[in-house]
Structure 1
Amino acid sequence: MPRIAVLDDYQSVAKDFCDWSQVPDAEVVEFHDHLVDEDAVAERLQPFDVVIAMRERTEFRRSLLERLPNLRLLVTTGMRNKSIDLDAATALGIPVCGTAVSSISTAELTWGLILAVARHIPQEDASVRAGGWQQTVGMDLAGARLGVVGLGRLGSQIAPIGLAFGMDVVAWSQNLTDERAAEVGVRRVERDELFATSDVVTVHLLLSKRTRGLIGADDIALMKHTAILINTSRGPIVEQQALLDALHQGTIRGAGLDVYDQEPLPLDHPLRSAPRTVLTPHLGYVTRNTYETFYREAVEDVAAYLAGAPLRVLA
């Protein structure tokens, strides 16, 4: 009987969001807490034949994979996972399979953060609950400029919504062409122009060696003091200290963040006390539809592997 570990099921929904009858003989164990220490993770997972990982919450380095002698299959939700050493998994004979993922839920959250920062929604909510009334003055989006850093799948969903708000939408990335920008209905500009002229800068890039730390102090220094920075992509793309300095010095209006250098965010992390911020705990993909897809296809992956015909193999 295969033993299946479902990791980082924070909301305790894994059992309810899909049909596990496809693996009727399996013992399924959900873990609702998050372990950071590799020794603790190794001890927990040693008995399991199959591990289902939720996005990039738990790292699977070579050093961990080598300590899991019973592991026969590793399933990740989504088709990319920077937290899994795919080369090591291949070398150790551990197949890695993925699932489909939709980016629309992240696009929706991005706009939630933009509106929350622009209109000071968390502050005004707290004020009303405390007996206050109208503490801030908001920012109009109509007529403002939206700068989209990265016009891939997610950036291409963000841009039309900006146009619907009546915003002037521009975009930049290292490989973006005028033709590609025009296909989305926006205009390509140079990097410095985007940061210097945009009222909202929103980041939508994949994390790689090239993009790690891509947005730094020089870019943030170009931004208007009335501008907003949004990051729902990956935390390390934006230099954390440069952003913290800008927030504390008031050189930008604010920031809306869903992603961080460390996740979960440590209790003493300086962003927790940073001014002019709206922070969410990496909720971009956390919706019912997305979770149902994740878990349904994860179970399909397990069933297919056990039947000798693995699906969506990444390594």
Structure 2
Amino acid sequence: MTVVVTTSPGFAKQGPVAELIAEKGWELIRCADTSLPDGGVSAHIGRADYLVVGLVPVTPATLEGASNLKAVLKHGVGVDNIDIPACTAAGLPVCNTPAANADAVAELAVGLMFSMARFIPQGHASVTSGGWDRRVGSQLGGKTLGIVGLGNIGKRLAKLARGLGMTVVANDMYPDEAFAREHGVTMMSLDEVLAVSDYVSLHVFGGKDNAALMNRETIGQMKPGARLINLARGEVVDLDAVAEALESGQLGGVAIDAYVSEPPSTDHPVFSHANAVFTPHSGADTREAVENVGKMVIEDISTFLEGGMPQRCLNARDL
């Protein structure tokens, strides 16, 4: 029997993906105990044929005793929590699911822009507490959205924003000039994007290369009163700098979906600021996206079982 161990709380939880696994006769072991550093993987890794990764890191220690393991698959896109060189050294292919949740994340980015523009969380809190605090907001049409990371998610967001009448500018290390021309997106340096944008939405990978990408200096380059959205990784944003900028008015608002530690400690002053909006790393949490990601994972495991190599394998050339 094929044994699949997962650290993703959402993988094959219900619906067609769970039915597919049942039909295939695979044994699924879920290791998502947040009280354990590895979610409980160490107790089962010796039996695992395939490891489906959520937010729990895959390190060399994770692979110790993984005598049956044949591949590591990310239930999502970002693989910054997977030590790919360690997997490669162990002869393990690493796959992810690019674009499967792009629509979901991009739509949440739009929702967060509306939340900040129209003070939706504050209005909700006012009404439910017996108040009637009507705040004058602003419209998104005519504003400039700066997208940092014009990958699958950034591209989908650009299309949505253009549909709302926004001007879209973007920065990317490997710009898709053809897409930019077709959809009216102006490619700029990061400094230029920050200087002209009313909203800045982050869609870059995590890891040391992007750690504290938004810090005191870069936030200081933003338009006074602009708003910042982080749907990337927690380490991409310096929360101390964000809290200071909110307090000074340099930032008119911030919306955060990803954190260095999850769930985060809410002792940090940013969590008590009236113009901050928080979601529990739920950018990809739609039924459609979870189903898409799950089906792609199952498809890749099936390819491995048939003796093939999935096209989504990230380290195939190094194995």
Question: What is the TM-score when the length of structure 1 is the normalising length?
Answer: 0.85
Partner of 1:83: 81
Name which structure has the greater RCO, CA cutoff 8 Å, separation 6+: 1
**CA separation in 1, counterparts of 2:289 and 2:45?**
25
- Give yes or no for contact 2:146–2:197 (8 Å, CA) kept in 1: yes
Partner of 2:49: 49
- TM-superposed CA distance for 1:40, in Å, is 4.7
Worse overlay, 159-168 or 100-109: 159-168
- TM-superposed CA distance for 1:209, in Å, is 4.4
Give me the identity figure in percent.
33
Partner of 2:125: 126
Partner of 2:200: helix, strand, or coil?
strand
- TM-superposed CA distance for 1:276, in Å, is 1.4
Partner of 2:210: helix, strand, or coil?
coil
Aligned residue type for 2:7 = L
CA pair 187-309 structure 1, distance change in 2 beyond 3 A: closer
CA pair 50-161 structure 1, distance change in 2 beyond 3 A: closer
Worse overlay, 30-39 or 103-112: 30-39
- Give yes or no for contact 1:196–1:222 (8 Å, CA) kept in 2: yes
- TM-superposed CA distance for 1:282, in Å, is 1.5
- Give yes or no for contact 2:7–2:39 (8 Å, CA) kept in 1: no
Partner of 1:5: 5
**CA separation in 2, counterparts of 1:53 and 1:178?**
33
1:92 aligns with 2:90: yes
> What do the CA deviations read for 1:80-120 (whole angstroms, capped 9, x no partner)?
51211122112223333444524111110100010011111
Partner of 2:226: 227
**CA separation in 1, counterparts of 2:295 and 2:108?**
23
- TM-superposed CA distance for 1:307, in Å, is 3.6
**CA separation in 2, counterparts of 1:128 and 1:197?**
35
- Give yes or no for contact 2:148–2:171 (8 Å, CA) kept in 1: yes
Aligned residues: 311
- TM-superposed CA distance for 1:215, in Å, is 2.5
Aligned residue type for 1:213 = A
> What do the CA deviations read for 1:266-308 (whole angstroms, capped 9, x no partner)?
4545543344111111212111111112222322333333343
**CA separation in 1, counterparts of 2:32 and 2:222?**
40
CA pair 308-177 structure 1, distance change in 2 beyond 3 A: closer
CA pair 216-309 structure 1, distance change in 2 beyond 3 A: same
1:194-233 map, 5 Å: 194-207=193-206, 209-233=208-232
Partner of 1:143: 142
- TM-superposed CA distance for 1:37, in Å, is 1.6
- Give yes or no for contact 1:259–1:282 (8 Å, CA) kept in 2: yes
Partner of 2:161: 162
- Give yes or no for contact 1:258–1:284 (8 Å, CA) kept in 2: yes
- TM-superposed CA distance for 1:190, in Å, is 4.3
> What do the CA deviations read for 1:10-67 (whole angstroms, capped 9, x no partner)?
5x8524341114532x32223453355249542354443332223xx01001122124
CA pair 184-238 structure 1, distance change in 2 beyond 3 A: farther
Partner of 2:15: helix, strand, or coil?
coil
- Give yes or no for contact 2:78–2:205 (8 Å, CA) kept in 1: no
Aligned residue type for 1:28 = L
Partner of 2:33: 33
Q: Structure 2 regions of 5+ residues with no counterpart?
A: none
- Give yes or no for contact 1:151–1:181 (8 Å, CA) kept in 2: no
Partner of 1:28: helix, strand, or coil?
strand
Aligned residue type for 1:149 = V
Aligned residue type for 1:314 = L
Output the aligned Cα RMSD.
2.8
Partner of 2:115: helix, strand, or coil?
helix
CA pair 175-216 structure 1, distance change in 2 beyond 3 A: farther
Partner of 1:139: helix, strand, or coil?
coil
- Give yes or no for contact 2:70–2:92 (8 Å, CA) kept in 1: yes
Partner of 1:242: 241
**CA separation in 1, counterparts of 2:42 and 2:66?**
7
CA pair 208-267 structure 1, distance change in 2 beyond 3 A: closer
- TM-superposed CA distance for 1:8, in Å, is 2.8
1:252 aligns with 2:251: yes
Partner of 2:69: 71
CA pair 272-180 structure 1, distance change in 2 beyond 3 A: same
